[in-house]
Every structure is written in C-alpha cells, then in structure tokens.
Amino acid sequence: MLQLETLALGRDELEAIRLADVEGLYQEEAARRMGVSRPTFARILTSGRSKVGRALVEGKALLFGEAPVAWVKGASDACPVHAGRKRKGRACRCRGRAAAAPRVSG
C-alpha cells in the first residue's frame, strides 16, 4: 500500500487562506477578523499557501486541523472558545479572545 508523506495545515493557516483567497479580504481586514496583527497574518498566510503548494506539486497528503500535539496530563482548564485541552508548552492559538473578559487595570 502506498504511503504518502503528509503536511499538516493548521486551523489558523486554513482560516487565513479562506479569508484572503476565498473571501477576497485585504490582509488588514482579515488580520482584524482573526485577532492578529497584519504582519502575523501575512506569516500565517504565507506558511499555509506554501504547504498547499508543496502538497500539490510534490504529491503529498494535506492534513487539515492541528498537527499531532502533546497534551498536558491532568489539565482541567480548557480553551473557552474551542473547549480543547491546553497543549504542553503552548496555549490555544486563539488565546480565548472571543470569550475573554475585559481586563481591569489595578
């Protein structure tokens, strides 16, 4: 049986491609919708487009979603947006922006 090499396209990369290439948004507006800076959006978009191009040209399988990650054992706090467990050494990429309470300066 033939085993293809795989490339993982992260959710953020897929969303960036959707906003820029499918919705046709300018990077400034797409970055605002994703809650990231314009330069960060550009890096995410470039990475995603590169992976899609490599998969097409080099005949690799493209996996959608997150790449395999190590989960924190016993983590009880989940992302308030996606309800996913926190990953070892990293917080959820959305950083809970959609559900975060406003900060109170003290």
In this prediction the pTM is 0.61
Collapsing DSSP to helix, strand or coil, 71 comes out as strand
Band of pLDDT at residue 26, cut at 50, 70 and 90: very high
The answer to whether the beta carbons of residues 80 and 100 sit under 8 Å apart is yes
Residue 105 has pLDDT above 50, yes or no: no
Buried b (16+ CB within 10 A) or exposed e, 18-46: ebbeeeebeeeebbeebebeeeebbebbe
Which of the listed CATH numbers 3.30.70, 2.40.33, 1.10.10, 3.40.1350 matches domain 6-64? Answer: 1.10.10
Residue spans per domain, the chain: 6-64, 69-95
Collapsing DSSP to helix, strand or coil, 8 comes out as strand
Q: What is the pLDDT of residues 32-47, one digit of tens each?
A: 999 999 999 999 999 9
- The residue-averaged pLDDT of 7-29 equals 93
Say how far apart CA 103 and CA 82 lie, in whole Å.
Answer: 21
- The residue-averaged pLDDT of 19-24 equals 95
Q: How far apart are the first and last CA of the chain?
A: 62
Q: What is the pLDDT of residue 57?
A: 96
**Look-up: residue for tokens 């926190």?**
86
Q: What is the pLDDT of residues 41-73, one digit of tens each?
A: 999 999 999 999 999 999 998 888 764 444 444
**Nearest of 64, 71, 91, 89 to residue 80 by alpha carbon:** 91
